[in-house]
A and B are shown apart, each in its own frame.
Chain A
Amino acid sequence: MDKTKVILGPFDVALEEPVYFKIEPNSDGKTIKSVDMINGFVHRGIESIVLQRNFLQNLIITEKVCALCSNNHPFTYCMAVEKIAALSLPERALYLRVVADEIKRIASHLFNLGMLAHLIHNKALMTQLLETREDFQDLKEAIWGNRMDLSANTIGGVKFDLDKTLIASIKKALDKNKSKIEAFIALFETDPALIARIGGVGVLSYENALNLGVVGPVARASGVNNDVRKRAPYAAYDKLHFDVILQKDGDVLSRAKVRLYEILESMKLLHQALDALPTGDIVLPTRTLIPEGEAISRTEAPRGELVYYLKTNGTQKPERMKWRVPTYMNWEALKVMMPNNSIDDVALIFNSIDPCISCTER
């Protein structure tokens, strides 16, 4: 048998995000023996660019790192700036941050599940999932005027407010879609064809998940609980009740189930946040100069833990700013998930980590 390698990518593996897979097949020619990945196709040097902009301009740059986590980047960045400037935010702003984040999470999870359905050629399921997501996209458009980049956060608070009509429309969207999500869960829990197709594929064991330091739904599908919202609460999460979703099998099916159940938890969080929404300001009334200092902040993005480090020197530009996105940790785990799976499933397994390459390479 010759040692032919299978090459996939860099373009159009699962998403339009580029990764170059070099796969060495087993002797049967159908399954994967080992996989090597080449990265760096969308590295843009954003960490250098942010050093040339001031703190307000960087709100916009951080939002442009990635579309699907575009709320968490400015959010976490703001938290770091606020820590250095020792700002304490109005209560209402903290709750509104949770609202923006959870709506974003629901839409993001549904998008990933839609891609999963697409990759297993279940077009009907894909349509249903993306139609459900559409309601949340419309909601974003109604509240923030944008369907992807919300521009919800600013240093010292948020840039949007919710009136009675908007709160009612959020609740309406939640009520309308809750039963749909439950129906999807029933499908993923019981449908024999679906379970046979994605169950046992791309397994990541609990030990490996711990060793590799994976985060987000990928970690929780392998039974590792590192949900930042619970472990190191921020914004208003310590005042709200929700459960961390854990599964044990660590396969593509478990990762899909974690995301589905998490949508229900996000709905719970949204209801609570909207009901308990305090009155008052949404942003601090005055702008502050940012003193010298350093801070680290983190949030739970839809894909997992997002970490920002910021160092300032008293000027109005950062001295060093670095961030680490969830896919950065989950990517290397593909080398463990893929061996002995069918070569046909590379895209399916790749999609199951909810990859965000433009985030990772910056």
Chain B
Amino acid sequence: MKSLHVKLNEITKTLALRCHFEPNSDSLWCEIADKNLLLQLAEILQTMNARVCMITAYEKENGHELVYHFDLSGVMLNLKLHITDKSVPSITPLFKSADWTERELSEIYGIAIVNHPNPKRLFLDEALKESVLKEYYSLSTAMSGKVSQELWSKVKAEEGVNRG
């Protein structure tokens, strides 16, 4: 545990990151604004057997703030990345554990994930537009399993297409 803290301190120092540990030192918060640095850090973290717990996003004036939550043997590294162009490189090629949470970013905030190996929709139906956090949809339109007349007519229409 202690050696991990030393190592984390070394990394943040060599990369000149703005970081601070929480008082009980089980989580570390860092802020960056450079996407290349994100990939650089992700590569280092991968060699340390980190695991992606979650990626959160929220809107901030002129852009989005992404928070990457990595677990390193019980220590949570929270990496904040500020973006202004709604796009971010994927870390899924490095961390399989980032797959779903990255896809959810594009679904809810419309953030493009560059180089994602499987950029399909996660939960929402293709018919809904991206970036839906603050939109209202009735439950029957938001869920992809619309067990209703509408679904049935969609099935019938597709059948028509298949049969030419």
A interface residue numbers (CB < 8 A to B): 10, 18, 20, 38-45, 47-48, 210-213, 226, 228, 231-232, 296, 298, 305, 307, 309, 311, 319-320, 322-324, 328-329, 331-332, 361
Q: 16 new A-B pairs (CB below 8 Å) besides A213-B96, A232-B75?
A: A39-B122, A40-B121, A41-B144, A43-B144, A44-B142, A45-B132, A48-B134, A212-B97, A226-B71, A232-B26, A296-B76, A296-B78, A311-B58, A324-B101, A328-B100, A329-B100
Q: Which residues of A contact B76 (CB under 8 A)?
A: 232, 296, 298
Q: How far is the CB of B104 from chain A (nearest CB, A)?
A: 9
CA separation between A305 and B67, bound complex, in Å? 18
Q: How far is the CB of A353 from chain B (nearest CB, A)?
A: 14
- Assess whether B36 is interfacial by the CB under 8 Å rule: no
CA separation between A331 and B66, bound complex, in Å? 24
Top-4 shortest CB links A-B: A213-B97, A231-B74, A40-B123, A41-B145
Q: Are A40 and B97 in contact (CB under 8 A)?
A: no
Which secondary structure dominates chain B's binding surface?
mixed
CA separation between A10 and B144, bound complex, in Å? 11
CA separation between A296 and B27, bound complex, in Å? 8
Q: Are B69 and A307 in contact (CB under 8 A)?
A: yes
Answer whether A10 and B145 are a contact pair too, CB < 8 Å, given A40-B125, A213-B52: yes
Q: Are B96 and A305 in contact (CB under 8 A)?
A: no
Q: Are A332 and B53 in contact (CB under 8 A)?
A: no
Q: Are A211 and B137 in contact (CB under 8 A)?
A: no
- Assess whether B139 is interfacial by the CB under 8 Å rule: yes
Q: Which residues of A contact B49 (CB under 8 A)?
A: 210
Which B76-126 residues sit within 8 Å CB-CB of chain A? 76, 78, 95-97, 99-101, 108, 121-125
Q: How far is the CB of B107 from chain A (nearest CB, A)?
A: 10
Report how many A-B pairs have Cβ atoms within 8 Å: 89
Among B73, B95, B96, B124, the residue within 8 A (CB) of A40 is B124
Q: List 23 A-B contacts (CB under 8 A).
A: A20-B145, A40-B122, A40-B125, A41-B143, A41-B145, A43-B143, A45-B142, A48-B134, A211-B96, A231-B74, A232-B26, A232-B74, A232-B76, A296-B76, A307-B53, A307-B54, A309-B54, A320-B58, A323-B54, A324-B54, A328-B100, A328-B101, A331-B100
Q: Which residues of B contact A329 (CB under 8 A)?
A: 97, 100
Q: Are A213 and B134 in contact (CB under 8 A)?
A: no
Among A42, A47, A324, max chain B CB count under 10 A is at A324
Which secondary structure dominates chain A's binding surface?
mixed
- Name the residue on A nearest B137 (C-beta): A45
B interface residue numbers (CB < 8 A to A): 26-27, 49, 51-54, 56, 58, 67, 69, 71, 73-76, 78, 95-97, 99-101, 108, 121-125, 132-134, 137, 139, 142-145
Q: How far is the CB of A310 from chain B (nearest CB, A)?
A: 10
Q: Which residues of A contact B26 (CB under 8 A)?
A: 232
CA separation between A48 and B134, bound complex, in Å? 7
Q: How far is the CB of B71 from chain A (nearest CB, A)?
A: 7
CA separation between A212 and B121, bound complex, in Å? 19
CA separation between A47 and B124, bound complex, in Å? 14
Q: Which residues of A contact B122 (CB under 8 A)?
A: 39-40
Q: Are B69 and A43 in contact (CB under 8 A)?
A: no
Q: Which residues of B contact A311 (CB under 8 A)?
A: 58
Q: Are B139 and A44 in contact (CB under 8 A)?
A: yes
Among B69, B101, B134, B145, the residue within 8 A (CB) of A296 is B69
Q: How far is the CB of A207 from chain B (nearest CB, A)?
A: 11
Q: Which residues of B contact A48 (CB under 8 A)?
A: 133-134
CA separation between A323 and B78, bound complex, in Å? 14
Q: Which residues of B contact A328 (CB under 8 A)?
A: 100-101
Q: Which residues of A contact B132 (CB under 8 A)?
A: 45
Q: How far is the CB of B95 from chain A (nearest CB, A)?
A: 7
Q: Which residues of A contact B78 (CB under 8 A)?
A: 296
Among B67, B96, B144, B145, the residue within 8 A (CB) of A309 is B67
